[in-house]
Amino acid sequence: MIKDEVLAALRERGGYVSGQELCDRFSVSRTAIWKAVSKLKEEGYEIDSVPNRGYCLLTSPDAMTEAEIRSYLHTEKMGKSLVCFADTDSTNIQAKLLAEQNAPDGTLVCSDQQTKGRGRRGRAWDSPPGEAIYMSLLLRPDIHPEHASMLTLVMGMAVADAINELMGGESAGIKWPNDVVLAQKARYARFPEATEIRDLGFSESGKELGQKNRAQRLFCANEGDACSARDDRAPDFAKLCGISLEAHGGGVCVGVGVNVLPPDKRPDVGGKNRPAYVADLADSVAAPAVAVEAVLEALLAAFAPLYGVWRRNGFAPLVDEFNAYSSLNGQNVRMVDRADNLLAEGAVVGVDAQGRLVLRSESGIETAISSGEGHLV
């Protein structure tokens, strides 16, 4: 649409763009440019018009509109098919409907607000307007959708990459399998060789651990200090992002919620994952103020190459990068299933080439977990 192209041009310039330049660039008439600018003003954009100078974008509306999103996106595929809502029940519900209608790989569903947002295991996800990214990405990888659970890890890496790129530091880490959290200062130590590798309910052997896991490098809580397999100090996780995944309609719907701007009144929540906000990082790392749409664009730009690597070669090439982001490595964890039955307990070594979390017991037995709920002990 010419309106979206005009908005992108104004944002790209950051100053005045003449009407004639816009006409030449998009091969349209002056009237078409005037109508596009008028429509943008109706949608809440403040655009200054000066004779002999042209148009200048001054401010944008708080709402995450389709035009606003398109003006930020520079990806080749991700988000080119875009559905945007001011308010919806859940972006994943809408993505599943689009999957049934054969929407293409990379279809992006966004909303400024959700009324029935859900996180992993069906937990409610608070979704107030104007403060966060609420999105779902419909993907159609060349594997059976039921085997695409590693996409949760790939998306977590993309979110962490995007936040760290925007904020100019190593601000974000990943809490396996689906949370992006504030990173903690860390270094690596080594375990001795395992006395036994045990695979919990899977055909692939634990011997297929990635090279970094084979070296048994562990993420430790204190930088510069000696570190052992056990560290009794549990970290206080501050959650920046949650990710959910549903296979549906021959595709995979990856739901993402990123806390970007803090609310006027911050929620007082219990539990182990207090909320954190991308905007808070600007003060800590001297980064510029950040907009919701800018985080979205950086996220999609980071995800595209990671998704390409995963589609071509699986998760193995991404193991080292994921483990570098891991906020659980070196922590003692108790893994349970949905019924709270114990699956395994031990110190987290990292993830393997299948994206499974590898725990080492005190006796040196390693267990690979593909799903479950982790509790620090």
Q: Class for domain 187-234+328-376, per CATH?
A: mainly beta
Span 2-59 CATH architecture: Orthogonal Bundle (1.10)
Residues in the chain, pLDDT under 70: 62-63, 116-128, 145-146, 184-236, 267-273, 283-290
* pLDDT for position 348: 95
Question: Residue 207: its pLDDT value, please?
Answer: 30
Which CATH class for the 66-172+235-313 domain? alpha beta
Q: Which residue has the tokens 């970094």?
A: 212
Produce one character per residue of 213-236: b if its CB has 16 or more CB atoms within 10 Å, e if not: beebbbbbbeeeeebebebeeebe
- Residue 146 and residue 246 in contact, taking contact as beta carbons nearer than 8 Å: no
- What is residue 45's predicted lDDT score, i.e. its pLDDT? 87
Output the pTM of the full model. Answer: 0.75
Element (H, E) at 209: none
- pLDDT of the residue at 22: 93
Two structure tokens written together for 12: 């790209």
Polymer length in residues for the chain? 377
Distances from the Cα of 230 to the Cα of 58, 175, 273, angstroms:
54, 18, 22
Task: Locate the domains of the chain by residue range.
Answer: 2-59, 66-172+235-313, 187-234+328-376
Task: Take residue 303 and report the two structure tokens written for it.
Answer: 């995800």
- Fold identical between 2-59 and 66-172+235-313? no
Are 103 and 235 in contact by the 8 Å Cβ rule? The answer is no
pLDDT at 175: 92
Residue ranges with strand state E in the chain: 46-50, 54-59, 82-85, 107-111, 132-139, 172-175, 179-182, 187-190, 196-199, 217-220, 237-248, 251-259, 273-275, 332-336, 342-351, 357-360, 365-369, 373-376
